[in-house]
Amino acid sequence: MGYRVVIAGATGNVGREMLNILAEREFPIDEIVALASRKSIGTEVSFGDKTLKTKDLDTFDFTGWDMALFAVGSDATKTYAPKAAASGCVVIDNSSLYRYDPDVPLVVPEVNAEAVDGYKKKMIIANPNCSTAQMVVALKPLHDRARIKRVVVSTYQSVSGAGKEGIDELWNQTKGLYVPGQEVAPSKFTKQIAFNVIPHIDVFLDDGSTKEEWKMVAETKKILDKSIKVTATCVRVPVFVGHSESINIETEDFLDEHEARDILREAPGILVVDKRENGGYITPIECVGEYATYISRIRQDSTIDNGLNLWCVSDNLRKGAALNAVQIAETLGKRCLKKG
Ligand SMILES: NC(=O)c1ccc[n+]([C@@H]2O[C@H](COP(=O)([O-])OP(=O)(O)OC[C@H]3O[C@@H](n4cnc5c(N)ncnc54)[C@H](OP(=O)(O)O)[C@@H]3O)[C@@H](O)[C@H]2O)c1
């Protein structure tokens, strides 16, 4: 016996990946429905070897459905997630709307699977920001061994993190640069993204940081440990899929780079590719369509007593969103909503 599952935002980047991953991982499903906005009614999306016709989220009745995986952005989530929850359908949400709500668990199953049990307060579970998800997967096993005190992270985030419009803008702007008269002005991004990098994701806050940077700080504390200090610089780069991060870690106890490599090799969700030779590391192109968070360039930071540097790459549409949401659904099923 399986679950009755709703995918809200099924025509988007994350929604399509959620359908792919549910099928790939053979999530036990009795019935599935794909929802999006009214303009997408009838749009076909793939679910394994089946094709689903998209229905209207606005008129959908969630009664009798077990879980709804949402990837519709914060505005639509605000309208429809409470409706689903009130009908008894557990919402697993990809937007940032509920992440910092103390009554909503924020979950990365490799790190805090047990937090899923807190879903009952609001019938909602939040999925973290894409950059946080992959980073905490890497930090968790090192924190367990040597207690992380401080993290300095710089991100190199792909345009798919900004939705379909982000992908289209990089594609059209790149093509337009080669065709006189067809130049594409920035619209989704604040400056030209083709052949450029932009040190600005989400809105600016009073202290000069951006909301994306603040999210990495607040979410790492909520998921992993509130005592860890994090400082982040988040940068958009002209890559279609795959976020990269340069992470500097300071620990309480000394951790040798060889032991760190061994610990990461054994940790769930991680693949270490770390040969100190040409090409002996992972770049974003190689992580596309994969489940793993890849770790390369593990090395001692010799400027402090207990410091490590590493390079962390993952598919932002998968571990950063869709895969993590499906893993939460699996955890919820196993721990709380047992069937059969
Ligand atoms: N991309 C990432 O790396 C990533 C990572 C973590 C979290 N997220 C979050 O996941 C969510 C979706 O991101 P995405 O990249 O998949 O965006 P996207 O490609 O732009 O897709 C947006 C989806 O939401 C639907 N939608 C938007 N407004 C709607 C409304 N009022 N009613 C019904 N459906 C509506 C769209 O339907 P139509 O096609 O009908 O417009 C589409 O299916 C966002 O909250 C984002 O912050 C994304």
For range 145-163, the mean pLDDT: 97
Each residue's pLDDT tens digit, 61-114: 999 999 999 999 999 999 999 999 999 999 999 999 999 999 999 999 999 999
Q: Residue 247 C-alpha to ligand 1 middle, in angstroms? A: 28
Pocket test for ligand 1, best of 6, 11, 70, 165 (most atoms within 8 A of CB): 11
The torsion angles phi and psi of 173, rounded to 5 degrees, stand at -70, -40
Distance CA 263, CA 130 (A): 23
300 with 288, same domain: the answer is yes
82 with 178, same domain: the answer is no
Q: Residue 90 C-alpha to ligand 1 middle, in angstroms? A: 19
149 with 118, same domain: the answer is no
CATH number reported for the structural domain that contains residue 104 in this entry: 3.40.50.720
Each residue's pLDDT tens digit, 39-75: 999 999 999 999 999 999 999 999 999 999 999 999 9
CA 249 and chain centroid, separation: 21
261 with 167, same domain: the answer is yes
pLDDT at 52: 98
Each residue's pLDDT tens digit, 255-267: 999 999 999 999 9
84 with 170, same domain: the answer is no
Q: Which residues line ligand 1 (CB under 6 A)?
A: 9-15, 36-37, 39-40, 57, 71-73, 76, 94-95, 130, 160-161, 163-164, 316-317, 320-321
- For ligand 1, atom 22, the nearest C-alpha belongs to 12
DSSP 1: -
Closest atom of ligand 1 relative to the 73 alpha carbon? 45
- For ligand 1, atom 31, the nearest C-alpha belongs to 76
Distances (CA, A) of 256 to 137, 146, 259, 294, 300: 19, 10, 5, 19, 7
Distances (CA, A) of 305 to 167, 190, 246, 251: 42, 40, 19, 9
Give the least confident one: 133-137, 179-183, 253-257, 310-314. 179-183
Q: Residue 223 C-alpha to ligand 1 middle, in angstroms? A: 23
77 with 154, same domain: the answer is no
13 with 152, same domain: the answer is no
Pocket test for ligand 1, best of 72, 98, 327 (most atoms within 8 A of CB): 72
172 with 303, same domain: the answer is yes
- Which residues form the domain of 265? 131-316
- For ligand 1, atom 19, the nearest C-alpha belongs to 12
Q: Which residues contact 80 (CB under 8 A, 6 or more apart)?
A: 8, 57, 58, 70, 72
Side chain identity at residue 151, one-letter code: V
Of 240, 71, 234, 74, the C-alpha closest to 168 is 240
CB 44 within 8 A of CB 35: no
Q: Quick check: is 243 catalytic?
A: yes
- For ligand 1, atom 14, the nearest C-alpha belongs to 163
Closest atom of ligand 1 relative to the 16 alpha carbon? 16
229 with 101, same domain: the answer is no
pLDDT band, residue 233 (cuts 50/70/90): very high
CB 265 within 8 A of CB 274: no
For range 20-31, the mean pLDDT: 97
Report the number of secondary-structure helices (H) and strands (E) in the chain. Answer: 9, 14
CATH number reported for the structural domain that contains residue 229 in this entry: 3.30.360.10
Q: Residue 298 C-alpha to ligand 1 middle, in angstroms? A: 34
Closest atom of ligand 1 relative to the 57 alpha carbon? 33
333 with 260, same domain: the answer is no
- For ligand 1, atom 17, the nearest C-alpha belongs to 163
- For ligand 1, atom 2, the nearest C-alpha belongs to 161
Active-site option among 89, 234, 243, 312: 243
pLDDT band, residue 340 (cuts 50/70/90): low
* SS3 (DSSP) at 278: coil
Q: In total, how many domains does the chain have? A: 2
- For ligand 1, atom 47, the nearest C-alpha belongs to 95
122 with 150, same domain: the answer is no
Q: Quick check: is 143 catalytic?
A: no
pLDDT at 1: 85
97 with 44, same domain: the answer is yes
CA 219 and chain centroid, separation: 12
Q: Residue 9 C-alpha to ligand 1 middle, in angstroms? A: 5
**What is the enclosing helix (H) or strand (E) of 36?**
strand 29-36
